[in-house]
Structures are given as C-alpha cells and as structure tokens.
Amino acid sequence: MHNSCEGPGATAARFTGLAVTGERQLSGALAEVTLDGGRVVMVKRGDGHRAAQAEAAGLRWLADAQAVRIPTVHGHDGQWLVTDRVATGRPGADAAEHLGRDLAALHAAGAPAFGAPPPGGPEDAYIGLAPMRNVTGPDWPGWYAEHRVLPYLRRAVDDGTVRGAEAPLIERVCERLPELAGPAEPPARLHGDLWNGNVLWGADGHAWLIDPAAHGGHRETDLAMLHLFGCPHLDRILDGYQQAAPLAAGWTDRIALHQLFPLLVHAVLFGRGYAEQALTAARAALAG
C-alpha cells in the first residue's frame, strides 16, 4: 500500500518506475517532475476521489480514437494522475487546420450513447471543479436538458446566482430543444471541456488536448466550447473540421444553445457574471 502522504516525485517514480531527478510545483494541485533520462511528467492531484479516475479514463478513450494527440497516461489512483508533459510552442495556422480534421475524426469515433462515460470512467465525473454525471439518454435534446442544463440551473437558482424569475427562460429552451437542436446526430466522442486552456500548441508543431470531461455527446458542443473563450486560429480549426466532416446547416445559430451548459457550470463555480451570459445565450438560442 502506498503512503497517502506521498508527494508528486514519489508518485511519479511509483507509476513510471524511473528515478526522479527534479521536481517543480506549478500550483497546489500540479507539479512537473523530471525523471532519469530526461523524460518530464505532469503529476496532478485530483480534487475529488473520482477526479483522477475520470480524467485518466477520458484521456485513454480519446487516445484510443487515434485521432487527436493526447499525452500518455502513466497511471492514476484515488488521489493522483501522472501523464507526459507536452512541450509547448506557438499556435500555428497549419496545426490549427490539422486539429480541426483530427477533431472531426475524434467525433466520428463515436460513443455508445449520449452521456456515456469513457470505459472505466465513473458515472460521477467532473467538468473542471464541478461535478458532472455521465448518465445516458436515448436522444440528444432530452438528455442535454435533463443531464446537462437543468441540474446546473437548479443549483444556480438554489445558490441565488440565477434568480427564480429568470429560470423559466432557460426552462423554455429545454422544452423547445427538440425543435432547436437541428438534425439528429449520432453520439460523438467528445473532449467535453474544449476551451482554449485545454488546447496545448506543441513544440512539435501539433495541437494536443488535455483535461477532458469526456463523454458521448453532440459534436457541435465541442466546437461551441472553442468559441466560448476564443482560440487561436479558430477559423482554421473550423475550416479543417468542415473539410473533413461538414456540420449541419445552421450550426452557427446553435452555438448559444450548446454554450448554455458550460455557462451554467461557470455560473455555479464563479458567480453572477456567467449567469447573465447564460441568460443571454438562452435568449439567442430561442431567437435562433
């Protein structure tokens, strides 16, 4: 049994079998550990008992698609996750276009159902620091309303972040989802938390993806997340995607609909400003 007080270096040594030659703490939860022979790994402390399990399962599931570049997972336990470090460089237009094509291939690898967790991943997973349940549903509109939008809306209302009188606006979006969602799509293999911070532009000239909240979902959700906080060369990412797997007509009108979930998650975590953005997205979705 390993020592629960073990630090990042000892954890890296345990999972890789290599001696540690250097250690640098990057934050309370993240350390960079250099191993004998020069390999560098990231050692991350999970925020909840299942966080490391969920992230490791997500990374492996995305890597199994052999579509996007994902850092190798060396191991995880109830507390720690150890992965290769990605040496970063500058964002490039060619890398962005490749990423678009790779994302299309990732999504096409599919999932057993909407809401399906990665193999070996827990039902009770995370998106960032917020709990996220991977429970399946037969169709995307019903599943998205029940398991992605409404749980966070209820919590935001309970916290007072969304006012009671404002909640019906978002509930109306959920009621109208079958007509707002566009053509039916098969369940896609999603990264699930694809904002700019989880795209690393590698020194090797390729884009790498980290920190997934992977599950079966609608492919437009990952692209809407990239739009939410901006991303370098986003137009080139979309060009690459559209060349490989064209999106259904009117998809740009549905971006706000897909952003409702991450905005409500942010409202729960970070407060009123995101609640106001979620209400704006709900109005845009209803108008679209």
Q: What is the DSSP string of 218-254?
A: -HHHHHHHHHHS--TTHHHHHHHHHHHSPPPTTGGGG
> How confident is residue 48, by pLDDT bands cut at 50, 70 and 90?
low
Identify the pLDDT of residue 79. 86
| pTM, to two decimals | 0.94
Interatomic CA distance for residues 11 and 7, integer angstroms: 6
Mean pLDDT on 95-100: 98
pLDDT of residue 49: 63
Encoding tokens for residue 74? 């060396």
Please, which pLDDT band fits residue 78 given cuts at 50, 70 and 90?
confident
pLDDT of 94 reads 97
The tokens describing 201, both together, are 């532009």
Q: What are phi and psi of 46, to 5 degrees?
A: -70, 145
Paired residues of 32 in beta bridges: 24, 42
Residue 4 has pLDDT above 60, yes or no: no
Bridge partner residues of 201 (DSSP): 207
Domain 8-84: give its CATH superfamily: Phosphorylase Kinase; domain 1 (3.30.200.20)
The whole-chain average pLDDT of the chain stands at 95
Query: Where do the CATH 3.30.200.20 domains begin and end in the chain?
Result: 8-84
Q: How far apart are CA 56 and CA 59, in angstroms?
A: 5
In this predicted model, what pLDDT tens digit does every residue of 206-247 receive, in sequence order? Answer: 999 999 999 999 999 999 999 999 999 999 999 999 999 999
| Rounded-to-integer distance, Cα 284 and Cα 288, Å | 6
Residue 68 CB-density burial (10 A; 0-12 exposed, 13-18 middle, 19+ buried): buried
Looking at residue 1, its pLDDT comes to 44
- How far apart (Å, rounded) are the C-alpha atoms in residues 90 and 76? 30
| pLDDT the model gives residue 241 | 98
Contact 46, 52 (CB under 8 A): yes
116-148 per-position pLDDT tens digit: 999 999 888 888 888 899 999 999 999 999 999
Alpha carbon distance 39, 69 (integer Å)? 18
- Segments of the chain assigned to CATH 3.90.1200.10: 93-287
- The CATH H-level superfamily of 93-287 is Aminoglycoside phosphotransferase (APH), C-terminal lobe (3.90.1200.10)
Cα separation, 18 vs 146, whole angstroms: 46
- CA proximity to 82, closest of 6, 9, 1: 9
DSSP line for the chain: ---TT--HHHHHHHHH---EEEEEE-SSSEEEEEETTS-EEEEEE-SSTTHHHHHHHHHHHHHHTTSSB-PPEEEE-SSEEEEEPPPB----HHHHHHHHHHHHHHHHT--SSBTPPPTT--SEEEETTEEEE---BSSHHHHHIIIIIHHHHHHHHHHTSS-TTTHHHHHHHHHHHHHHS-S--PPEEE-S---GGGEEEBTTSSEEE-S---EEE-HHHHHHHHHHS--TTHHHHHHHHHHHSPPPTTGGGGHHHHHHHHHHHHHHHH-HHHHHHHHHHHHHHHH-
pLDDT at 267: 97
